[in-house]
């Protein structure tokens, strides 16, 4: 299952380094990662942003069912044009969104803008999250709405893996945005970028 697999692993890694303060999750989808983080770190408040109104509704429902609505909020928004004030978050996350962006530099600039001085950002971009999960168990765990979205993604051809970005592609983007402290971990199906303002 996605939650027990990939997102659980990412949540563990993030909470090890950051377990209090205000966090922003870009491309939050149905809120799986914020929920996993909130379970591990009750001192964190998280705002999740996604372009899809339906996914935001799912995220709110998932947070309520997990008993974490007091710690999590979700809203429709564009990661390239965030409504938040400068330096309003201690950390920013994005998982699985980078390879789908039309203008990744604009998103990195927004991440830089909303991060507090000394704040950290994690941008994890697996080219295929399902490579980390038991697909049969995951499909069986989906509710009707999630099955519908999976069917729609398959119909539109959006389910096909896309090659992950490489270090040489990412470095100019983050440097243009203003980041000077950058850590990049390239894996077979994923790139993990850690940034500090």
Lowest-pLDDT range of 10-19, 42-51, 156-165, 171-180: 156-165
Q: Rounded to whole angstroms, what are the CA distances from 97 to 66, 127, 138?
A: 24, 9, 20
Tens of pLDDT, residues 184-197:
998 877 889 999 99
> In the chain, where are the structural domains located?
3-132+161-196
The per-residue pLDDT for 131 is: 47
Neighbours of 17 (CB within 10 A): 10
Residue 137 pLDDT exceeds 60: no
Q: Which residues of 141-175 are buried (b: 16+ CB within 10 A; e: fewer)?
A: eeeeeeeebeeeeeeeeeeeeeebbeeeebeebbe
Q: Rounded to whole angstroms, what are the CA distances from 69 to 108, 130, 153?
A: 28, 27, 28
Rounded mean pLDDT of the chain?
A: 86
Q: Give the C-alpha separation, 19 to 41, whole Å.
A: 5
The per-residue pLDDT for 58 is: 93
Residue 153 pLDDT exceeds 80: no
pTM for the model? 0.81
CATH number of 3-132+161-196: 3.40.50.150
For the segment 133-143, the average pLDDT, to the nearest whole number, is 58
Residue 164 pLDDT exceeds 80: no
């Amino acid at each position: 299952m996605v939650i027990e697999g990939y997102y659980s692993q990412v949540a563990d890694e993030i909470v090890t380094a950051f377990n209090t303060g205000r966090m922003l999750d870009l491309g939050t989808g149905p809120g799986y990662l914020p929920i996993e983080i909130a379970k591990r770190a009750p001192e964190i408040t998280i705002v999740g942003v996604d372009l899809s109104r339906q996914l935001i509704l799912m995220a709110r429902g998932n947070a309520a069912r997990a008993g974490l609505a007091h710690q999590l909020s979700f809203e429709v928004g564009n990661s390239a044009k965030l409504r938040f004030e400068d330096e309003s978050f201690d950390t920013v996350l994005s998982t699985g969104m980078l390879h789908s962006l039309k203008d990744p530099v604009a998103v990195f600039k927004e991440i830089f803008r909303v991060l507090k001085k000394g704040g950290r950002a994690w941008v994890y971009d697996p080219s295929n999250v399902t490579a980390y999960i038991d697909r049969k168990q995951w499909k069986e765990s989906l509710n009707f709405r999630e099955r519908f979205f999976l069917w729609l993604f398959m119909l539109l051809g959006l389910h096909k893996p896309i090659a992950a970005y490489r270090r040489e592609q990412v470095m100019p983007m983050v440097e243009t945005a203003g980041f000077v402290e950058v850590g990049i971990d390239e894996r077979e199906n994923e790139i993990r970028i850690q940034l500090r303002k």
